[in-house]
Amino acid sequence: MSRELRLFFISLVTLAALSDAANGQESALGAQPFPTAAPESVGLSAKSLERLAGHVQTLVDRDEIVGGELHVIKNRLTVMRRAFGWHDRANQQPLAVDSIYCVRSMTKPLVGTAIQMLIDDGRLRLDAQVGDILPAFATPRLEEITVEHLLTHTSGLPFSTIRRPLSEYRDLQDVAAEAAEAELEFAPGTDFTYSDPGSDVLGAIVASITGEPVEEFLQRRILGPLGMRESFTLLEGADDALARIPSAYSGGTESWSRHWQPSDPPIFPLFLTSQSLYSTTEDYARFLALWMDGGRVAEQQLLSAEAAERALTPHSALREYASGFGELRVWYAQQWMVYSDAEGRARPTVIGHGGSDGTHAWAWPEEDLMVLFFTQSRGTTAGVGLESRIQQLVVDQALAESRSAASAKDESVAGLYWDETNSTAYYVIEPRPDGGVALERPGKARLLFKPSETADRFVHEAYAGVWIEFLRDEEGLPSAMRSSFGGQVEVAPRHVRSDTLPTIDEVVATVEAAHNMARLSEIGTVELRGNVTLETLQMGGEIRLLFDAERSRSALDLGSVQEVGVVEAGRAWHYSTPTGLDELEGARLEQALLDRLVVTLGDWRRHFQHVEVLRRIQAGDDTVLLVRVVPAEAPGRTIFVHEGSGRVVMAYGLVNIPGLGVVGLRTRFGDFREVGEMLLPFQIVAEFASPQIGRVVTQMDDFELGIECKKKRLARRPTRGSGC
């Protein structure tokens, strides 16, 4: 895959977001994503969990709550789930496990996720002024309020602005319009006030940008893909679920009164993105798991890793909230409550949110631990008091277990293992600090596995039925990997280098002789022009590439979207009309630097940390050499070299795409033509292992040599229509 194709990514993600086919799919997690297991199997004490359950029962006995459900999930296994107290106290109806609760402000992370998705799609920016989206905010008094202000509760909007019965509002646009009439408590960005209307305005923004009710967007992009089938934005039409919703109480100890029961009209005749979601503990745990996994669920990247990190970064200290989690302090991020150090500089240890009807959810991503405590007792502080006991009885044990697992990291399993069913495919195993392993299959996917109770066996972090295990020889060293990906068990022998293969120096020499990319230093700048067809998305446009030995510039015109990508002097930029200018960093920067044609068709030893000839395969009457190249930060890749001619004909790898994450990519090079004594592919076919992108074909039609481009035009700040 060349750097010149990488510029498609953000535009492809933007376009793919418009397709319901991929985003509306139901999750493959199945009906029970968190199967039941014994606490000891994940390093927790059943006795300690019983003590925690005893404390919740005491809350009922002392009348601090009417009823509640406790759900503890470790390593994606349910180690405790129990209900306490009453579904309806007057009728002496006990509360049942798997009840459906109004989670009130725990709705806020949901609308925050929707906003982050629109940012990933390139349809919204954090610094976008709300007045440019919602006419009610297009006034001088409110012109400074941005989307980020709303996400972080720093807009100046007050705690509440709803002054009428909810039945009098037509939709969220009405709610937002009323919020726009309120007096600001401070200048935007200068202070913090927890604001329900701010979150409702975010919902109105989602509806305005997408052209659909926010609840439909949430269903299509979040609830559906996560398999949250028992979560409801509106109760109208959810008749089968009503019996599972406990009666709602308010008041306090010895003064609880029932203010709603399932036979009453819904509390919310319209969906408020600040507080109207109904959900189960298991469904909400699915949502938490999405954020614990950096925006990924199973094989789908619903949210970019960058968005997940951005949204969870501590922003404002909540001084009025005490934390029961050791020395951690409570902070507000972007529609999330997070627990970090006193300065808010460290990555959050705990993420979650609470709701005013007595619902709480906490997640420890590093420990793969979730605790959910849902009640229907409005105004109770029992959940906050529960934190210290969770720390003592659950978290401290989980920390001890993870430290033990980390010390058990086994480096011996690292290496390559060949897929015996496919001569061109292999698996890359890399041990992780937590005792698990990462598995990469170039061109396909990257999967994460955690240790199981069986020695040398690792299970997928989301699917208990997907596993790998290592077979060892007489000396105790791994000799093969056995795997089950969907039921069929296969054995992949460990890679052993053959003495019959040519050396890497010999292979590089044939590639350099075939493509002659060294000529670039004499020719100067080359321009290629052609067309791009996005076959899966049924779209197309024009492409223009300029490159020399050190720099490259690529420009794509898809009509409504223009893209420019630039590489120069160890730096790289990307510009698009939806998202603006972005300078790449880290693995994305390294990826851009290495994906230029001059690198792919040149001397890999100059650019990669590890280069190795892996295997010779037969392709009809020809032979092809498989070469693995591994950079410092980005994933490694496989380059296919035609042994007779020295041509690079294919490349398999993994690429990091904003909005999708790590995606497999298989690239085929063809229609080779001579350009100034160099041999360049005029056809590049890219197959993305993601239904949201699919197959992309680039066909070059013309070229020009010795283009005179000023340095600032070729490879400085990318802008549209800039000369060269």
Half-sphere exposure of residue 659, counting CA atoms within 13 Å on the CB side?
25
Spatial distance between the Cα atoms of 464 and 484, rounded to a whole number of angstroms = 11
The active-site residue, picked from 2, 11, 99, 105, is 105
Buried b (16+ CB within 10 A) or exposed e, 406-434: eeeeeeebebbbbbeeeebbbbbbebbeb
Which helix H or strand E contains 469, and what residues bound it? Answer: strand 467-472
Spatial distance between the Cα atoms of 277 and 287, rounded to a whole number of angstroms = 13
Spatial distance between the Cα atoms of 14 and 690, rounded to a whole number of angstroms = 14
- Amino acid identity of residue 77, one-letter, is L
Contact (CB, 8 A) for 60 and 68: yes
Rg (CA), the chain: 28
Within 10 Å of residue 310's Cβ, how many Cβ atoms?
16
Catalytic, 388? Answer: no
Which helix H or strand E contains 109, and what residues bound it? Answer: helix 108-120
**DSSP classification of residue 256:** -
Write the DSSP assignment of 10-34 as a string of letters: HHHHHHHTT-HHHHTPPPSS-S-SS
Spatial distance between the Cα atoms of 696 and 670, rounded to a whole number of angstroms = 14
CA distance from start to end of the chain: 23
Q: Cα dihedral sign for 74, 76, 80, 82?
A: positive
For residue 249, report the phi and psi dihedrals to the nearest 5 degrees. Answer: -125, 155
The tokens for 515 are: 């493509």
- Expressed in percent and rounded to 5, the helix, strand and coil fractions of the chain are 25, 30, 40
Spatial distance between the Cα atoms of 661 and 279, rounded to a whole number of angstroms = 28
Contact (CB, 8 A) for 231 and 224: no
Q: Which residues are catalytic?
A: 105
